[in-house]
Amino acid sequence: MSAAISHRIHELARAARMLAVIGAALKLRSGAGADNAIEEQIRDGVRLALGDALTDLDHAEIAPLLVEIEMAFVESSELFRKPGRTASWKVEDQDLLQAMGRASSNAFDRILGLASTRPSLQAALDGVFLDVGTGVGGVALRAAQTCPELDVDAIDIWEPALRLAAENVAASAHAGRIQLRRLDVTELDPGPRYTLAWLPTMFMTLSVLEQAIDRIAAASCSGGWLIAPLYTRPDEPFMAVMSSLRTLRSGGEVTQAAQLEALLRARGYVDIEVDVGPIATFVMGRLA
């Protein structure tokens, strides 16, 4: 083995441990307790990795950093442990499903932000929202909670997630406005019914997506909005590869916003916009 390769791997392995020590220190700052001697070593490790930078951070600054570190470790270790696993989105673990639901509910807050400067999207929040791939209902519940005039149809094909979604909805104050169904989006009934639809494209093949957009367009009211997220593809080449891997391993196929824009345009959507976020990019448009 060349000395250069072994040196590079040694450097990267060291960087992974540094990130772990930084994450551990941030968790301890947020209230997790540890043995004094261990805590002291963690502090020493952070000083060597970052200097004294962490001491100035407040709670609001720590939270997003912890999310980034957590994502890096969860994604990397899953890829490393199971590089050959089948590409699909089939999570059995109930805690993980619930955690993903909590995380994905933020997507609806981003939609509310976009609606605040787009009157026709704001108007779509007084109608019926289609949440495709509702999982445990994170997005559906946030929609019902924040938009009192909105009814929600929440559909999914994954029974373990739907069971949890039913519990979450029943335990909420919004059960009367959320209709949960086991339904494949490619079998959605024609409308006109929906003023807003959410289609997470990163879990679907191109062929499913084409059928899904056809069905959603046929089920939507005139002027109905479709918001279709995909994982953001960073400019930096290595992180762009990671983003494509994330999509492919989730059972998705479309990795470029331009591809998704073309799919929407071909099915009658107009005023198509692309809103790039750190993790997800929203491609959105409304029916002419």
Ligand X SMILES: C[S@@+](CC[C@H](N)C(=O)[O-])C[C@H]1O[C@@H](n2cnc3c(N)ncnc32)[C@H](O)[C@@H]1O
**Which region among 59-67, 128-136, 262-270, 272-280 touches ligand X (by CB under 6 A)?**
128-136
Pairing of strands 151-156, 269-276: unpaired
Site string for ligand X, 241-270 (x = CB under 6 A): ------------------------------
Provide the minimum distance between the beta carbon of 44 and ligand X in the complex, in angstroms, as a whole number.
39
User: With binding defined as CB under 6 A, does residue 224 bind ligand X?
Assistant: no
Quote the CA–CA distance of 224 and 234 in Å, as a whole number: 30
Give yes or no for residue 155 binding ligand X (CB under 6 A).
yes
Q: Are strands 194-198 and 128-132 parallel, antiparallel or unpaired?
A: parallel
Binding-site member from 204, 209, 213, 254 for ligand X (CB under 6 A): 204
Is 69 among the residues that bind ligand X (CB under 6 A)? Answer: no
Q: Could you give the 3-state DSSP secondary structure of residue 269? A: strand
CA distance 227 to 39: 45
Place of tokens 């924040």: 146
Per CB under 6 A, does 197 bind ligand X? no
If binding is defined by CB under 6 A, does position 229 make contact with ligand X?
no
Interaction between residue 158 and ligand X (CB under 6 A): yes
Packed helices 106-115 and 94-104: angle between N→C axes, nearest 10 degrees: 10
Judged by CB under 6 A, the residue of 161, 169, 254, 257 near ligand X is 161
CB 193 within 8 A of CB 219: yes
Q: Annotate each residue in 84-123 with x if it binds ligand X (CB under 6 A) or - if it does not, as one string.
A: -----x----------xx--x-------------------
Taking alpha carbons only, the member of 105, 94, 210 closest to residue 160 is 94
Q: How far is the CB of 154 from ligand X (least distance, A)?
A: 9
128 or 132: CB nearest ligand X? 132
Q: Which listed residue (127, 137, 229, 252) binds ligand X by CB under 6 A? A: 137
Question: Can you read off the two tokens belonging to residue 73?
Answer: 């470790």
In the chain, the N- to C-terminal Cα span, in Å, equals 61
- Output the CA torsion 226→231→236→237 (10° steps): -110
Minimum CB separation of residue 163 from ligand X in Å reads 12
Cα-only R_g, the chain: 21
Q: Which is nearer to ligand X, 137 or 285 (CB)?
A: 137
Binding site for ligand X (CB under 6 A): 89, 100-101, 104, 132-139, 155-158, 161, 184-186, 200, 203-204, 208
